[in-house]
Amino acid sequence: MGKQGNMTYTTRLRSTLEERYQDLGRNLSSVRLHSLCEPTESPWTGPQDRVIGRFETAELIDELVWHQIIGRYKELGYSNIELEVDTSCPGRSCITLWQGKERGENALLFDFSIWTEYLEPVACHGRKFRCLGVDWLMLQAPPDEDFARSGVKRLPGQRFVSPRLGSQMLKLLQNWAVRVGAETMMVVPEYFHSAVMFERGFTYLDPEMQGLYEAAVHQLLPEHELAELSWRFEDGNVSLRNKPFYWPNEAQVAPLCAALEVIFESEEYLETRALTRQSAQFAVENRSEG
């Protein structure tokens, strides 16, 4: 993987979609996108004014109700929920839920950006796959359910307590991918706990990265809570072979066609994954900054 453990994924800090796309392309060692610039057209989905080329706004509300996302927020006491949709960038859809008319971090419930593009894994020698990918996903329950009262430990990237919608979001993503004819789904976990969340159905495309992930789960999770461990990766307090290891931002994919599944069943992939898992030696350190 070359830069494993030392990559800095700056996508969330970029101000334009073009810069985010270019950063994504540079950071993914085992996959390259069909285009590393802002797409000019949606390559295989429907009309641009619909979410991922399929859903009108009214249909989208029905989808969020069906997948129990709206219902979960109502259970938490949010009654005046407003939906905003942005499909102005070809091939990309942004969906936001707000509490009431206010706009700002304290009123933000749900922020989700997905894209449709072609994915070209190096191992497939030029074969391109229709991909439904997640650019970013934020789920939170502001501002009343604070961490002190809930007893829930804060995870890296969180300001407010999670509404615990991970399972519903995964089902929604899988459902949409099948309905628009995607051949694979892709996420790029920014944190270790995000990789664990997407483990149900997703695998790292890079066999070395998958081996490192399995080694970390096997060696560290039995003795450390997930929130604590994710923070330790974020703060540089986990070492790999006696060097600080920051959780890398690499692609996890969920194959939806046999042609892509063969990558993960190949002798080369399985051998590399196993050797990496066996040789990786993680340790939790107690370093303090400064």
Which pLDDT tens digits describe the chain residue by residue (290 residues)? 333 333 322 233 333 334 433 444 444 444 433 333 334 444 566 777 888 888 888 899 999 999 999 999 998 888 889 999 998 888 889 999 999 888 888 889 999 999 988 888 877 778 889 999 998 888 888 875 555 556 667 788 888 878 888 889 889 999 999 988 999 999 999 999 999 988 888 999 999 999 999 999 999 999 999 999 999 999 999 999 889 999 999 999 999 999 999 899 999 999 999 999 999 999 998 755 44
Residues 220, 214: Cα–Cα separation, whole Å: 10
Q: What is the 3-state secondary structure (H, E, C) of 121-141?
A: EHHHCCCCEEEEEEEEEEECC
Going by CATH, does the domain composed of 16-205+249-256 fall within 3.40.50? no
Q: What is the pLDDT of residue 200?
A: 84
The beta strands (E) that lie in 14-150 are given as 31-33, 81-86, 92-99, 108-121, 129-139
CB 31 within 8 A of CB 260: no
Q: What is the pLDDT of residue 23?
A: 43
Entry pTM: 0.78
CB 260 within 8 A of CB 220: no
Q: What is the pLDDT of residue 217?
A: 97
- Cα→Cα distances 162→88, 106, 141, 166, 268, Å: 28, 13, 6, 9, 39
CB 141 within 8 A of CB 161: yes
Q: What is the pLDDT of residue 150?
A: 60
